[in-house]
Amino acid sequence: MKISIFGLGYVGCVGMGCLAQSGHTIIGVDVAPEKVERINNGQATIVEKDIDDIIAKAHASKTIRATHDYKDAVHNTDISFLCVGTPSTDKGHLNLDYIYQTAKEIGEALAEKQSFHIVVIRSTVLPGTNNAISTIIEEVSKKKRNVDFAVVSNPEFLREGTAVADYMNPPLTVLGSACPQAIEIMKELYKNTNAPIEVVAIEVAEIIKYVNNSYHALKVVFGNEVGSICKEMGIDSHEVMRIFCMDKQLNISPYYFKPGFAYGGSCLPKDLKALNTLAHDLYIDSPVLNAIEDSNHKHLQKAIRLIEQTNKRKIGIMGLSFKAGTDDMRNSPIVNVIEVLSGKGLEVRIYDKNVALSRLIGKNKSVISEKLPHLNNMLQDSLSDVVEWAEVLIISNKENEFKTIPHNANQLVLDLVRIAELENHPQYVGLCW
């Protein structure tokens, strides 16, 4: 394919070399004369493993060149990659001036071009940018989006030092566009890449890089806080984290990465508090570890606010234990919610087939006596009775029987755990989705 790349910095230079290596013809565009000159001399614009040799070979085979002339680049290619910088402003916002200016230039070029053209956003941009760029190009070119041209969001996942290897072997390729034709062409472009291709909503493609990098930053800080605690105790922190990373079932896995309700149970709250207390006793500052419980509490408060905003008084709770298939109510977040609601005078009825007052012993019994002394008046034996009575149904764990609960169209369903089978209800509300 014939491809133009706008921006010959890190992402653009690596993309140019790797696409050329895959057999495509590339025209690079940049406002910096030295970058254009370097490419036209067969030299990379960055320092990165393997890229010098790749650019030199591509230049020798005449499959790459660079120019300042954006119209020349657009007119002689079918796909334009936007790889221009999106630096932060002093207040932390993105400066999108460069990418919007590039969109304007592409629009000017497309005004003089008849064939279909694809604009691919590789720069890291916030949700809404794809639409903004499409609007700019549409207004400047007088062409129609998804007919005469299309904009595809295609975030990059490159690490400096291994960028070439990452480009050729990414974890996945993400594509988001409102144009099926453009998606099919991009799938063809990436068909030999050793990675699954995920076609997603545009906004998902736009935000995923921010989620990735924020989590990577969190991992670094988490590891450093653990390291500081371990060092103070004379423990080998690298050995601790090596063992931590060996657990692919929970630690390094998708298991806990599903937006839902607040965490609870006996282990997470207790052990987090113990580690924070240990750090405090050792005079170790661990702000990330300290922030976890507060963030969890704020998420619980969000659920309470959503319930209160319904202005309904009859609240049916589906599930009392912190996890489906158990009767464990130790630190069950829904118990705290019920305590607040009943304290404000709302009527609450609860159904949980695993919880029976006659079987409560130990900590489970003390939780109820302290927080829900009137549970015997709230707990119901019949699921259908609670559903029929309630104005609002709160789904707080993933018992299988909750997938098919009978409910009427006038009844609000507030799902705290995401049960997909309920999402077609006309008054369904998810806690954070």
* Residues annotated as catalytic (active site), given as ranges: 267
Q: How far apart are CA 351 and CA 206, in angstroms?
A: 41
And the tokens for 428?
């369904």
Q: How far apart are CA 215 and CA 218, in angstroms?
A: 5
User: Is residue 205 within 8 Å of 153, Cβ to Cβ?
Assistant: yes
Q: What three-state secondary structure class fits 100?
A: helix
Sign of CA dihedral 41, 47, 50, 51: negative
User: Is residue 74 within 8 Å of 68, Cβ to Cβ?
Assistant: no
DSSP 83-121: -----B-TTS-B--HHHHHHHHHHHHHHTT--S-EEEEE
Q: How far apart are CA 144 and CA 151, in angstroms?
A: 11
Closest CA to 231 of 286, 268, 271, 287: 286
- If 0-12 CB within 10 Å is exposed, 13-18 middle and 19+ buried, where does residue 257 land? exposed
